[in-house]
Structure 1
Amino acid sequence: MTNAPRQTEASDMEPILSVRDLKVAFSRHKQDNEVLHGVSFDVYPGETVAIVGESGSGKSTTMHAVIDLLPGTGRVTEGSVMWQGRELVGSRRRDMESLRGREIGLVPQDPMSNLNPVWSIGFQVEEAIRANGLAKNRKDVKARAIEVLQQAGLQDAEKRMRQYPHQFSGGMKQRALIGIGLAANPQLLIADEPTSALDVTVQRVVLDHLQSLASERDTAVVFITHDLGLAAERAEKLIVMYRGNVVESGPSREILQDPKHPYTRRLVSAVPSLASRRLGSSPDVAPAPTESFDIASLAETELKDRQIGAPLVEVTDLTKVYKLRKGNFGHEDLTAVDRASFTINRGETMALVGESGSGKSTIAKMVLQLEKPTSGSIRIDGADTTQLGSKQLFDLRRKLQPVFQDPYGSLDPLRNIGNTIMEPLNVHKVGDSASRRARVLELLDQVSLPRELATRYPNELSGGQRQRVAVARGLALKPEILVLDEAVSALDVLVQAQVLELLAELQRDLGLTYLFITHDLAVVRLIADRVCVMRSGEIIEQATTDEVFENPREEYTKNLLAAIPGASLNIGA
């Protein structure tokens, strides 16, 4: 049950954070490129604020400028940032380091790039607790680490602390970062896409905790998010950003239910709704113009001639057991996937949904032959992939391509975007150098990225832009099967609408088959023909998309549907 946000009267108190006319520029080739053009807003004690806008609009840059964490050549050129009456712009490095974590906490956007791969999760949480002076002896530090991970919604926190980041799903890594951000009970928590990798039930747990924290301790929370449902349901105040400017701000529900600015109206119209139909279903109404990016209209647009063929991917009794290290050189078993079975027909989309850690991504890795099953079989076009030799496996990878959940972790930081997208073409020796370059530019157009980004590097892109690069690379070889692991979770709603439409068109034109892994059930409604619901490694419900959404059989599935942020507000419907 969601608590109503506590209203903050600006006239009753001074803002805890006051930003005035903030301008930020990045230097490139000895020239300043201004990306923020005079941003102003206030945050009051105990207030929850959401900053929304498409990828690259300046949301993360604004809050990173506040705490002096701008990447690369970024710097504040003008403006003021007042924190509890003291100016932060121009503060000494030592003063900012003492403020970050203790007074202002940060939950960063990319979990993999912010967790050290060679340290256990527990060690990293404990390190943050020690650095903030929250506990003195080893026993108290460990107890506090377990507590903050449990507060962030991580099940079996004491056992999971012994694991490493690569053994966590994206959602589990995100929860570990949330635990670190909350460890010091800061007065302001900046949460940069804090729930983009979380399933809806864990979202509710984490957001309820953040809301109770704000209420009980007057902790202010600033959400940087593209989830308008979350913004409407959880935030008292909404700030809409577009190209480095604040174009609209005010009470969140008022703005989202009656947007005034044309850009805000575009954002709201692009939100996927549970009332939508699958992309490619027969239209009941005439579609709106596509330039409005109305996702509901896209869902009603008829995509003709999509053919469903014979079974292409057949998964039978698939099981994966990991061995976790214990003390005295022992180990214990953790069953990540337990006797999962499903079939995907040629030209069809099968969605795997469930809570973070339920085994969705583990199944994807086994289908891609990146993990070996403990038992069971995976047959692709009749061939058992667990029995393939290296040459056969190489040939299989040309028609079976992944789009991974964590774009930063799957993109080479030393390779520019053009070469990253071109890599599959080089490996499989497709075409000559000129045709490969042309294909790269075509793919950048398809995923709505400027062509000039081909010479940029991953650290110069926003999270949403990196995700689009991952989608482009997955499409480079025009594969038969695409395994999409949270492929649109980091995208703003406008680009998400474009990418989903692109995937639907490619499926119609090329007969592609998709295994679509996501925690966003509204997206499932748009893209999937059939749905498998997973819990604790098992598939507990399997049916057509309409059956699962209109008449869910399992109580767990009903809870997933009920936990979607903003579902009752009909944002985007």
Structure 2
Amino acid sequence: MTDVTNQKPLLEIKDLQVGFKTTEGVVPAVRGVDLTLMPGQTLAIVGESGSGKSTTAHAIINLLPGPGRITGGSIMFDGQELTSYSQKKMEEVRGRQIGFVPQDPMSNLNPVWSIGFQVEETIRANGIATGRKAVREHAIQVLKEAGLADADKRLKQFPHQFSGGMRQRVLIGIGLSSRPKLLIADEPTSALDVTVQRKILDHLETLTRDIGTAVLFITHDLGLAAERAEQLVVMYKGRIVEAGPSKEILQNPVHPYTQRLVAAAPSLASRRIQSGTAATPTHSLSDLDYAPTTVTESVDLIAAAEERLEQVPKGPSLAKRPDAIVVKDLTKVYNIRGQGKGKASELIASDNVSFSVAKGTTTALVGESGSGKSTVAKMILRLEDPTSGSIMIDGVDVAPLKGRPLLDLRRRMQPVFQDPYGSLDPLRNIGNTIGEPLQVHKVGDRTARRERVLELLDQVALPQNLITRYPNELSGGQRQRVAIARALALKPDIVVLDEAVSALDVLVQAQILKLLADLQAELELTYLFITHDLAVVRVIADNVCVMQRGRIVEAASTDQVFDSPQEQYTKELLNAIPGAGITLGV
């Protein structure tokens, strides 16, 4: 715990107001936020997507999107009023004094520049090191601190050759490179597996303790907030509804909105399944205002999941279900650039992977970032060609498919990718994005397609007026919901979900998981769920395959893996779930 006696605040925000200019006038996004952060302290801001968390963080360093403006209030950093700073003066503060880790790793890394070039560019710009050799050594050091053990070998690789979690680690390394007084981390570990997440967060704690770096977390993971942050701020509709010591708030939430967040916390779902006490609202929360109300509604997410699992035939009858997906000895080898001319080395991303997914069930692939989960998913979707092995979909080998047969396969098998910004066309509005699969496959006329798009927006808890908006106008969680809606547009037989709920706040995540379960029961959908969030696996999956370094090291039913893990690696994954040992209350 940081000693704040006789210290002056490092960051003091008073009555902050932020609005976005639209054709209909200024739309308020942050409405009178007050918060104080002391040197070396860690503070977490939690709340659902669109609550103003990221907007508040961006306002501090004047990185609001084009139409965004600070319309009132004060931001004092280290005794200086930031709202009065010119653009040039703010550039001197960013990076050197205030580090920033954005939540979207792909859109914040330039796809045409190597990873090493981008890290080294930041180091030079901030004057951290001079000379080619010193800059390169510092780049390797910060990337290793961020969790990339083989950083020296990966400097010449490009962002598309990194997994989502690895890209996020690069951004964390860049954010920490100048040893700033304040680090603003916007969902810094949402793309990371739990073991690497723990390593990163341990490193952030070391910075806080050793050099007095304060950390401002923006997160939807209540387990992470309870375990890592000393202070907690709960935001809803641009306002702070509750603030104070994190464990005290999460163990004894007072405001009804905080109570709902705690009740839906999926990061602690494995505990709640056993106790059967978690409650999750299934309706929109738009009717909840700032006056306290009694929280009496809601469907128990865990009970719903257990009920769904009970509907799935057990024992021998489950074995009779035909396999929708059969993967056998699937191997993918990449040739990566070496350090010198003509030199290249082989990277085995998938190593003789074999598993099957019965029709109408969910199998989860879990493991550390870079373990090969996404590579397997891309090969099943025929977005990557396997080096060897076979993939059977409903008994048909998909490897030789081309042209129309491949298009028909993709109508029956839809993906949801882990990067909600990179997978959405920034030049297409939300309505056209969701309706694109319907148009490509010539489903219905224009009116019918629009009706289907509106129906899908309702299903994923997005307001219908977003139909004319563009991806850059949406939060990360809202963009991910659009991606899910697009995948469901054609009512496919198989859905491959690659970290599909990692960017969602706890309330929407619970709604999406419930939606996926309902759709599976109704339409006999088959899910392949790639995730690093083991608590989500507990709720949604029937079977689990644990991957490590391209291989499946453990495969069993979800209950068996959680209750009696056989491999040490699996035990480490379970033990690393943030907040697993903290009992929250509602």
CA–CA separation in structure 1 for the residues paired with 2:448 and 2:416: 23
SS of 1:353's equivalent? strand
Q: Does the 8 Å contact 1:241/1:247 carry over to 2?
A: yes
In the alignment, which residue of structure 2 is the partner of 1:116?
A: 110
Q: Which moved more, 1:342-351 or 1:286-295?
A: 286-295
**Counterpart AA for 1:322:** Y
**Counterpart AA for 1:275:** R
SS of 1:101's equivalent? coil
In the alignment, which residue of structure 2 is the partner of 1:8?
A: 3
Percent of aligned pairs sharing the same letter: 64
Is 1:164 aligned to residue 140 of structure 2?
no
Is 1:27 aligned to residue 31 of structure 2?
no
Is 1:542 aligned to residue 555 of structure 2?
yes
Uncovered stretches (5+) of structure 2, i.e. residues with no partner: 283-296
> Which of the numbers 482, 506, 509 marks the counterpart of 1:496?
509
Against the structure 1 CA distance between its residues 304 and 506, is the aligned structure 2 distance closer, same or farther, given a 3 Å change threshold?
A: farther
**Alpha-carbon shift at residue 433 of structure 1 (Å):** 0.8
In the alignment, which residue of structure 2 is the partner of 1:436?
A: 449
In the alignment, which residue of structure 2 is the partner of 1:275?
A: 271
> Which of the numbers 175, 193, 199 marks the counterpart of 2:169?
175
The alignment's TM-score, normalised by the length of structure 1, stands at 0.96
> What are the equivalent positions in structure 2 for 1:397-546 lying under 5 Å apart?
397-546=410-559
**Alpha-carbon shift at residue 329 of structure 1 (Å):** 2.3
**Alpha-carbon shift at residue 296 of structure 1 (Å):** 3.4
> Which of the numbers 12, 15, 35 marks the counterpart of 1:41?
35
Q: Does the 8 Å contact 1:81/1:89 carry over to 2?
A: yes
In the alignment, which residue of structure 1 is the partner of 2:336?
A: 324
Over residues 395-444 of structure 1, what are the superposed CA-to-partner deviations in whole Å (9 max), with x where a residue is unaligned? 10000000000010000000000000000000000111111000000000
**Counterpart AA for 1:425:** L
**Alpha-carbon shift at residue 8 of structure 1 (Å):** 3.4
Is 1:295 aligned to residue 301 of structure 2?
yes
> What are the equivalent positions in structure 2 for 1:60-99 lying under 5 Å apart?
60-99=54-93
Over residues 139-185 of structure 1, what are the superposed CA-to-partner deviations in whole Å (9 max), with x where a residue is unaligned? 11111111000000113111122211111110000000000000000
Is 1:57 aligned to residue 51 of structure 2?
yes
**Alpha-carbon shift at residue 325 of structure 1 (Å):** 1.4
**Alpha-carbon shift at residue 277 of structure 1 (Å):** 4.3
Against the structure 1 CA distance between its residues 141 and 100, is the aligned structure 2 distance closer, same or farther, given a 3 Å change threshold?
A: same
In the alignment, which residue of structure 2 is the partner of 1:3?
A: none
CA–CA separation in structure 2 for the residues paired with 1:176 and 1:479: 35
Q: Which moved more, 1:411-420 or 1:29-38?
A: 29-38
> Which of the numbers 301, 309, 313 marks the counterpart of 2:325?
313
**Counterpart AA for 2:232:** L
CA–CA separation in structure 2 for the residues paired with 1:428 and 1:100: 47
CA–CA separation in structure 2 for the residues paired with 1:441 and 1:414: 20
Against the structure 1 CA distance between its residues 313 and 73, is the aligned structure 2 distance closer, same or farther, given a 3 Å change threshold?
A: same
In the alignment, which residue of structure 2 is the partner of 1:233?
A: 227
CA–CA separation in structure 2 for the residues paired with 1:26 and 1:90: 19
Against the structure 1 CA distance between its residues 499 and 120, is the aligned structure 2 distance closer, same or farther, given a 3 Å change threshold?
A: same
SS of 1:40's equivalent? strand
The alignment's TM-score, normalised by the length of structure 2, stands at 0.94
**Alpha-carbon shift at residue 112 of structure 1 (Å):** 0.4
SS of 2:414's equivalent? strand
Over residues 204-247 of structure 1, what are the superposed CA-to-partner deviations in whole Å (9 max), with x where a residue is unaligned? 00000000000000100000000000000000000000000000
**Counterpart AA for 1:299:** A
Uncovered stretches (5+) of structure 1, i.e. residues with no partner: 1-5
CA–CA separation in structure 2 for the residues paired with 1:491 and 1:289: 15
**Counterpart AA for 2:457:** L
CA–CA separation in structure 2 for the residues paired with 1:458 and 1:553: 43
SS of 1:501's equivalent? helix
Against the structure 1 CA distance between its residues 104 and 287, is the aligned structure 2 distance closer, same or farther, given a 3 Å change threshold?
A: closer
CA–CA separation in structure 2 for the residues paired with 1:424 and 1:47: 48
**Alpha-carbon shift at residue 391 of structure 1 (Å):** 1.7
Is 1:147 aligned to residue 153 of structure 2?
no
Size of the alignment, in residue pairs? Answer: 563
Over residues 452-484 of structure 1, what are the superposed CA-to-partner deviations in whole Å (9 max), with x where a residue is unaligned? 001000000000000000000000000000000
